[in-house]
């Protein structure tokens, strides 16, 4: 007897095109600072009858390009969906909002960019079916501003010079019909207090909202509070100075350390094992941490990854997976693929690759660190100590190692900072944070995340008195 085969089963793409709008709208999320920022992250989700969820993520440039990225995840079980949402709420500082708001922003941004011959991301042709139709009658009439003075505004930074976009706009609409602002120029301009200054803060990848107890008024162009004079502090305390996100973190750190002593450090941490003097740290590549077959392989693979970091494309992920097929015993590739999926928004895939890296290479330090971060994001902090055999210092964790690369040390201290912060053990987290400050390598993504989380917790404690 032949088995019944469901020949009518739809692919996720076809299902979304034909049936997604029949599903109940579940929830909508948007960047908390969308009114003052130029770039917005939006999530719209719909619930299936079996309680699974399909959702789409839209990254929207309100200043010029419209919908610059979008993708979907289909028919996720409840726990997986919640994990994705919690990740984005934390990483992108999202809040719930009405459907009418996101509808107005997404379609409005598309219309604005089309006026200037810029098309929405190609995948919007599919993910728009998770939205209501463009002519859907909204309950609210919401006015959204796009560009500046109804013209495109392009923000360029050291990380993204927008050369191709500027070239396209010059060709299609002429230089007089759009405006370009360089963040570096803003940083050197003491008198810049306009809308563009707000966007400068937003375009910092790790922007951080000011705590409630800080209510500044003007910009202070001093990024290091060690250089502040008594009059600077007085002006700040009187609410006469606005500070950048970076300086805000320094102030919280300073205020906390001024109020609390070293006696609070948790007994779990053995301070004598954490000193940097006990480690042989190198900034040069070290043989113990090199899993590439040849120097040519290393250069080629690292170049793929660096290109991906600058401008993530699915083609980069495919190239990394092809490299893994050729050299399956290289743990670096597992980490690269996990990070590639994060950059492309495939959070569940990133977590799977992170777990694979740890299980296949349990002694690979970067793999341990990456998987520990995954566990923390999933709310499984109790499993983190097991990854490190309940050892919280590198010298005893890997006694066979004679040398450590500085990024290994930095990321290990960062994950420990994040772990103890998650536990609410600020004193222990602070031990690792002080070591990170000694190393002065604070631009790593994990370090920035650990810093933000620790300073939020310190600010909370200070506000409680």
| 3-state percent helix, strand, coil for the chain, nearest multiple of 5 | 55, 10, 35
For position 335, what pLDDT does the model report? 83
Contact between 332 and 291 under an 8 Å Cβ cutoff? The reply is yes
CA 100 to chain centroid: 26
Residue ranges of the chain with per-residue pLDDT less than 70: 1-9, 157-161, 183-227, 240-245, 259-277, 285-290, 293, 441-443, 465
Alpha helix (H) residue ranges in 217-294: 230-237, 245-259
Digit-coded pLDDT (tens) for 17-32: 999 999 999 999 998 8
In whole angstroms, what is the distance from residue 141 CA to residue 60 CA?
A: 20
Contact between 422 and 459 under an 8 Å Cβ cutoff? The reply is no
Contact between 266 and 425 under an 8 Å Cβ cutoff? The reply is yes
Instruction: Looking at the structure, give the CATH architecture of the domain made up of residues 271-464.
Output: Alpha Horseshoe (1.25)
Residue ranges of the chain that CATH labels 1.25.40.10: 271-464
For position 9, what pLDDT does the model report? 62
Buried b (16+ CB within 10 A) or exposed e, 339-353: bbbbbbbbbebbbeb
In whole angstroms, what is the distance from residue 325 CA to residue 78 CA?
A: 33
Buried b (16+ CB within 10 A) or exposed e, 57-68: bbbbbbbbbbbb
1 by DSSP, 3-state: which?
coil
* Residue closest to 30 by CA, chosen among 78, 88, 95: 95
In whole angstroms, what is the distance from residue 40 CA to residue 42 CA?
A: 6
Residue 210 tokens, joined: 């000011």
Contact between 55 and 61 under an 8 Å Cβ cutoff? The reply is no
Q: How far is CA 26 from CA 29, 45, 78, 104, 362, in A?
A: 11, 5, 12, 18, 39
Residue 79 tokens, joined: 């726990």
Note the pTM of the prediction, 2 decimals. Answer: 0.51
Quote the percentage of the chain above a pLDDT of 70: 79
């Amino acid at each position: 007897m032949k088995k019944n085969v469901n020949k009518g089963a739809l692919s996720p793409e076809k299902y979304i095109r034909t049936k997604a709008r029949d599903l109940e709208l579940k929830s909508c999320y948007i960047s908390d600072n969308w009114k003052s920022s130029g770039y917005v992250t939006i999530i719209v989700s719909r619930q299936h009858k079996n309680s699974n969820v399909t959702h789409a993520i839209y990254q929207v440039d309100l200043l010029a390009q419209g919908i610059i990225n979008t993708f979907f995840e289909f028919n996720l079980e409840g726990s997986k969906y919640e994990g994705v949402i919690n990740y984005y709420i934390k990483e992108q500082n999202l809040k719930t909002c009405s459907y009418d708001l996101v509808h107005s922003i997404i379609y409005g941004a598309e219309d604005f960019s089309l006026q200037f011959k810029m098309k929405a991301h190609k995948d919007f042709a599919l993910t728009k079916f998770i939205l209501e139709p463009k002519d859907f009658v909204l309950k609210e009439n919401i006015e959204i501003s796009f560009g500046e003075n109804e013209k495109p505004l392009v923000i360029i930074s050291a990380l993204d010079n927008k050369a191709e976009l500027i070239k396209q706009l010059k060709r299609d609409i002429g230089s007089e019909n759009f405006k370009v602002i360089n963040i570096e120029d803003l940083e050197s301009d003491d008198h810049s207090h306009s809308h563009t200054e707000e966007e400068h803060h937003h375009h910092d990848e790790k922007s951080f909202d000011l705590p409630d107890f800080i209510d500044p008024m003007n910009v202070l162009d001093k990024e290091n509070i060690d250089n502040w004079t008594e009059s600077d502090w007085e002006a700040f305390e009187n609410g006469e100075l606005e500070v950048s996100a970076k300086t805000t973190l320094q102030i919280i750190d300073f205020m906390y350390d001024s109020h609390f002593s070293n006696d609070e450090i948790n007994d779990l941490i053995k301070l004598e094992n954490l000193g940097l003097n006990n480690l042989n740290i190198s900034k040069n590549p070290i043989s113990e941490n090199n899993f590439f077959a040849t120097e040519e392989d290393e250069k080629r693979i690292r170049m793929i990854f660096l290109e991906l970091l600058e401008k993530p494309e699915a083609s980069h992920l495919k190239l990394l997976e092809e490299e893994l097929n050729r050299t399956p015993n290289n743990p670096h590739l597992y980490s690269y693929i996990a990070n590639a999926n994060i950059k492309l928004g495939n959070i569940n895939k990133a977590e799977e690759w992170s777990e694979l890296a740890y299980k296949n290479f349990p002694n690979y330090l970067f793999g341990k660190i990456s998987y520990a971060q995954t566990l923390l994001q999933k709310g499984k902090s109790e499993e983190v100590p097991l990854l490190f055999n309940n050892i919280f210092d590198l010298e005893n964790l890997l006694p066979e190692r004679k040398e450590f690369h500085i990024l290994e040390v930095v990321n290990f201290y960062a994950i420990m900072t994040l772990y103890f912060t998650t536990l609410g053990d600020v004193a222990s987290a602070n031990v690792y944070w002080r070591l990170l400050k000694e190393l002065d390598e604070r631009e790593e993504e994990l370090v920035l995340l650990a810093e933000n989380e620790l300073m939020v917790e310190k600010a909370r404690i200070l506000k409680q008195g």
